[in-house]
């Protein structure tokens, strides 16, 4: 029996068929997939970039950095769990592609467990935010409340923003600009044009991740009545938008350096550019779901690598 199960799992892995019955997993592994680890660069990169820019101005408070980073990751996980819970409640999981993070549909976690995890993740994010507020004041509280509300309303509530065609702009603003600029504010208690400039590459690429996700899910989203750029304008327009977003990320880094808003060291952010070109070319050629899944993971890594390279350049310029 175990031999047959292993053979089935290997076959599913080779073919990209995620509809096969999953093998038993530990709760730790189930929660790992529920958190959607490939997406967590979306919450790490903005904090690294904003904090690194702050280091060019003055000394860093490492406790506040740790709270901002872990709180950001917690809110991202909470958003992912909200999306899983809300999606399953609305559809019952019928007819949906069994991706690894579909932990309720795959019978790995119960609805109640996911709801409790969602509350715990948002709860930690709120506590971390309140500690930061105690140090830097009420403006960051307003930003935190708006961010948590946006995170919940994006995937939950009676009419999730992600289903109304507002997913891309919400992600661009809150997962890009707001997170970078808030991380800078936490350290320096002010905002600058430089903090706006360096938020753009992060915002462009995190939005590109959502675009490729929505291209992959376009048929299911149309059937469910979910609006996105891909369902409204078509796959071709969405594909070109993905390429334009990646181009915008690196052009904005160059623009910030040429304008003198940041040091030329920020051009280290160009290091992953060849990978970005490859990702754009891969999307134009992709048609099958397994290829789209790989590109989605690749886009997440591109976001993390670009954010890390940009943050490294900014931090080096502060030394």
pLDDT in tens, 123-162: 998 899 999 999 999 899 898 888 878 877 877 667 778 7
Could you tell me the pTM of the whole model? Answer: 0.83
Task: Return d(Cα 122, Cα 72) in angstroms, integer.
Answer: 10
- What's the CATH code of the domain at 118? 1.10.600
| Residue 119 forms part of a structural domain | yes
Interval 33-40 mean pLDDT: 80
Structural domain that includes position 99: 24-318
State the pLDDT at residue 106: 63
Condensed to tens digits (0 to 9), the pLDDT of residues 61-75 reads 999 999 999 998 998
Asked if the model's pLDDT at residue 204 lies above 90, the reply is: yes
Mean pLDDT of 169-173: 92
| DSSP letter assigned to residue 268 | G
- CA distances for 287 relative to 29, 101, 207, 212, 309, angstroms: 30, 22, 20, 12, 31
Reported as a single tens digit per residue, the pLDDT across 105-114 is 666 677 788 8
Instruction: Answer whether residue 5 is part of any domain.
Output: no
Considering its fold, how many domains does the chain have in total? 1
Residue 269, token pair as written in the block: 């952010």
Over residues 42-67, mean pLDDT = 95
CB-CB contact of 268 with 284 (8 Å): no
Name the average pLDDT for the chain: 84
Q: What percent of the chain is predicted at pLDDT more than 70? A: 84
Task: Check pLDDT > 90 for residue 91.
Answer: no
In the three-class reduction of DSSP (H, G, I as helix; E, B as strand; rest coil), residue 118 is classed as helix
Per-residue pLDDT, 104: 66
Is the per-residue pLDDT at 1 higher than 50? no
225: left (phi over 0), alpha (psi -120 to 50) or beta: left
Q: Is residue 264 part of a domain?
A: yes
pLDDT digits (tens, 9 = 90+) for 221-237: 888 788 888 888 889 99
Write the CA distances from 225 to 22, 85, 90, 144, integer angstroms.
Answer: 29, 18, 12, 31
Residue 136 lies in a domain: yes
227 φ, ψ to 5°?
-95, 140
Q: Is 55 helix (H, G, I), strand (E, B) or coil?
A: helix
- What pLDDT, on a 0 to 100 scale, did the predictor assign at position 96? 52
Structural domain includes residue 122: yes
Structural domain includes residue 206: yes
Tell me, yes or no, whether 286 lies in a domain.
yes
CA 161 to the chain's CA centroid: 16
Please check whether residue 177 lies inside any domain of the structure. yes
Contact call for residues 95 and 219 (beta carbons, < 8 A): no
């Amino acid at each position: 029996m175990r031999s047959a199960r292993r053979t089935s799992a290997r076959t599913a892995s080779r073919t990209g068929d995620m509809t096969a019955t999953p093998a038993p997993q530990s709760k730790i592994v189930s929660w790992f997939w529920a958190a959607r680890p490939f997406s967590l660069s979306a919450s790490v990169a903005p904090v690294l970039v904003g904090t690194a820019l702050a280091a060019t101005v003055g000394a860093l408070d490492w406790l506040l950095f740790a709270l901002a980073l872990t709180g950001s990751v917690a809110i991202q996980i909470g958003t992912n769990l909200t999306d899983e819970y809300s999606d399953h409640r609305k559809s019952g999981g019928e007819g949906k592609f069994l991706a690894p993070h579909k932990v309720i549909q795959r019978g790995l976690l119960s609805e109640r467990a996911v709801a409790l995890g969602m509350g715990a993740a948002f709860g930690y994010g709120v506590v971390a935010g309140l500690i930061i507020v105690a140090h830097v004041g009420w403006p960051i509280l307003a930003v935190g409340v708006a961010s948590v509300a946006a995170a919940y309303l994006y995937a939950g509530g009676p009419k999730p923003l992600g289903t109304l065609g507002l997913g891309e702009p919400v992600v661009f603003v809150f997962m890009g600009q707001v997170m970078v600029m808030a991380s800078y504010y936490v350290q320096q208690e002010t905002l600058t044009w430089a903090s706006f400039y360096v938020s753009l590459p992060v915002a462009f690429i995190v939005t590109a991740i959502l675009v490729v996700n929505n291209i992959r899910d376009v048929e299911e989203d149309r059937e469910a009545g979910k609006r996105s750029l891909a369902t409204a304008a078509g796959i071709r327009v969405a594909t070109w938008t993905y390429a334009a977003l990646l181009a915008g990320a690196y052009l904005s880094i160059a623009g910030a350096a040429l304008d003198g808003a940041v040091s030329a060291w920020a051009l280290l952010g160009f290091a992953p550019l060849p990978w970005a070109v490859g990702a754009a070319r891969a999307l134009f050629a992709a048609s099958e779901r397994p290829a789209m899944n790989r590109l989605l993971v690749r886009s997440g890594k591109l976001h993390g690598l670009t954010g890390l390279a940009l943050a490294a350049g900014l931090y080096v310029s502060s030394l």
